[in-house]
Amino acid sequence: MPISYRFNFLSIVAHTKRLKLSRFHGRRMSTAPIPTYKDAIDALNSLQTNAAILEAVRAAGAKLNPNAIPEMIDYLRRVGLEPSQLNNLNVIHITGTKGKGSTSAFTDSILRAARPGWKIGLYTSPHLVAVRERIRINGEPLSEEEFTRYFFEVWNLLQNTKCEAATTPFMPNYFRYLTLMAFYTFNQLKVDATILEVGIGGRSDSTNIVPKPVVTGVTALGYDHTRLLGEKLSQIANQKGGIYKEGVPALTVEQPEEGILELGVCAAEQRASQFTIIDTLPSTIQLGLAGAHQRSNAGLAVQLVHTFLSIMDQSYSPMSDPNTSGTTSATWSGSEIKPLQSLPTSFLDGLKNAHWPGRCQTVLDPKFEATAWFLDGAHTQESLACCLEWFVSSAVGLPVSPVSDGHPLRVLIFNCTSGRSGDDFLTAILQKIEERLAVHGSLEKKEEFFAKVIFCSNVTYASGNFKGDLTSAAMSTTDNLNLKTQREIEAAWNTLVPTYSGTVHVLPSIEDAVEEVRKMPNVSVLVTGSLHLVGGVIEVAGLADRALSPKA
């Protein structure tokens, strides 16, 4: 159960009470304090589930809430919306284990390039530095003022209404609240299209209350959140395929046989209008996001936008573009929509200009010119393998030529959240390093690839405090103080690399890790294992202007 804001944020209660009074007593409006962005973040953080409750749930055997969808609909109605109204948002619904955020970013970028006059909403999770990154209009996060306004409009609507079902918690939890706020905001702003990324799974996810999205897509499947979604790939696929809807095109990418078969079953059971497996884009097409794995994400994004425009825009015809050949008019007649074989210029521009921070991203330190940060929030074994395939390549983490005289010293900053296996993750990292060194003909050894390894917590500052937007109640205070998870990762590293001659540090905060890196004059730093960690490094190292801006 989330902690009630009434006991933790009395100032916010005062704000909301006075705001409610001002609606009826105009003379008091001038004296009522205006809630700030910090007030909104403090209130939002009060909806997080704390570590003790999460641990109890894990110990009892975590299960998906069977009432998740009815409860979310209950909240939706309390803010004045019916599920059918969400169809007016014209939703592209995206899930998957790997790449759903990147696919959402590609989809958003392509659609904005193809329809520059439209107002396009994008809802994703998690955020890197600021919560408002999760809700974007035309590629830009809500401003602090906009976020605060819509946050408290939703807050007050919930505070002034009751749940229909007695079993529904009075206030939604953190993710549900932000999802609800996104729906409310996009409805208020009357967006022309919405790209909606699932949080966890799909079938029971808070985003899955849109009765009829325009098109749905599932990115690469893998093993994550297995306590909730199941240990088998077919079980995970069943949860992801839960976003498929009757009469709606169901798309996915190449998957292992077990996964693709289950997704096909889901599409058939939901009576999707078609079930299409999308090919990877060729290497000749320029992408704004680094990494070979992004070609699968980009390929799916292309077909999601193509399908969307085929259904929603009668003026859409790829044939009208001089760069397009071999395709027919895409006006939808209810029959199967064939994938594009050649891309319009606007699609190519959208792919090239896509920007998604913290995913296979290189950022040069603005203060320390000889320091380069390589950021990737990979947090599954499969995504870590993709991360290392990118990093252990020429002109990234390797010299341009294997016979080059030298390269900057390399540092690994790593953490993984509770419930994930540091041992398995480090094994995946080391195996991929060995494989990639062999591919590039390097004589380096995997055991000595990093000169320094840092395992740190996701706590932002050395004082033990978090930046407000990065606060995590899910982290155990005791575990943080004892660095339990980090000590376990250190022990796993020492077992896997007993001959390691570099230095290993276990540090209590991200700020401590950044300070340790800056003791080295010429260094390449790989930060991975957690998006929360990557976001904290961007904040503490002062990389935000370069990392978060597509123009940097």
List the chain pLDDT tens, one digit each, 552 residues: 333 333 333 334 434 433 333 333 333 445 678 999 999 999 999 999 755 544 545 555 567 888 999 999 999 999 999 999 999 999 999 999 999 999 999 999 999 999 999 999 999 999 999 999 999 999 999 999 999 999 999 999 999 999 999 999 999 999 999 999 999 999 999 999 999 999 999 999 999 999 999 999 999 999 888 888 999 999 999 999 999 999 999 999 999 999 999 999 999 999 999 999 999 999 999 999 999 999 999 999 999 999 999 999 999 987 665 444 333 334 455 679 999 989 999 999 999 999 999 999 999 999 998 999 999 999 888 899 999 999 999 999 998 876 556 789 999 999 987 556 788 999 999 999 999 999 999 999 999 999 999 999 999 999 988 889 998 876 666 667 789 899 999 999 999 999 999 999 999 999 999 999 999 989 999 999 999 999 999 999 999 999 998 865
Q: Tell me the three state secondary structure of residue 135.
A: strand
Q: Tell me the three state secondary structure of residue 62.
A: coil
Our CA angle for 281, 351, 273, nearest 5°, is 65
**Confidence at residue 475, expressed as pLDDT on a 0 to 100 scale:** 64
Return all residues near 500 (Cβ < 8 A) that are at least 6 apart: 447, 448, 453, 493, 494
Task: Give the ranges where 256-380 is alpha helix by DSSP (H).
Answer: 257-269, 294-312, 345-353
The interaxial angle of helices 174-189 and 144-159, nearest 10 deg, is 110
Q: Please give the DSSP secondary-structure letter assigned to residue 4.
A: P
Q: Quick one: tokens of 322?
A: 């001089």
Sheet (strand 371-376) strand order: 361-364, 371-376, 523-528, 409-414, 452-456, 503-507
- Find the helix or strand (DSSP H, E) in which 481 lies: helix 477-482
**Confidence at residue 403, expressed as pLDDT on a 0 to 100 scale:** 57
The residue with tokens 């998690």 is: 126
Long-range contacts of 126-129 (CB under 8 A, 24+ apart): 126/531, 126/532, 126/535, 127/469, 127/535, 128/357, 128/358, 128/377, 128/531, 128/534, 128/535, 128/538, 128/547, 128/548, 129/467, 129/469, 129/470, 129/535, 129/538, 129/539, 129/544, 129/548
**Confidence at residue 476, expressed as pLDDT on a 0 to 100 scale:** 63
- In contact, 510 and 466? CB cutoff 8 Å: no
135-137 and 120-123 beta bridge pairing: antiparallel
One-letter amino acid for residue 143 of the chain: S
Distance in angstroms (rounded) separating the CA atoms of residues 364 and 97: 29
| pTM listed for this prediction | 0.89
Return all residues near 3 (Cβ < 8 A) that are at least 6 apart: 46, 47, 48, 50, 473
Distance in angstroms (rounded) separating the CA atoms of residues 453 and 181: 40
Q: Please give the DSSP secondary-structure letter assigned to residue 286.
A: -
**Confidence at residue 40, expressed as pLDDT on a 0 to 100 scale:** 97
Task: Give the ranges where 92-173 is alpha helix by DSSP (H).
Answer: 100-114, 144-159
The residue with tokens 């290497």 is: 283
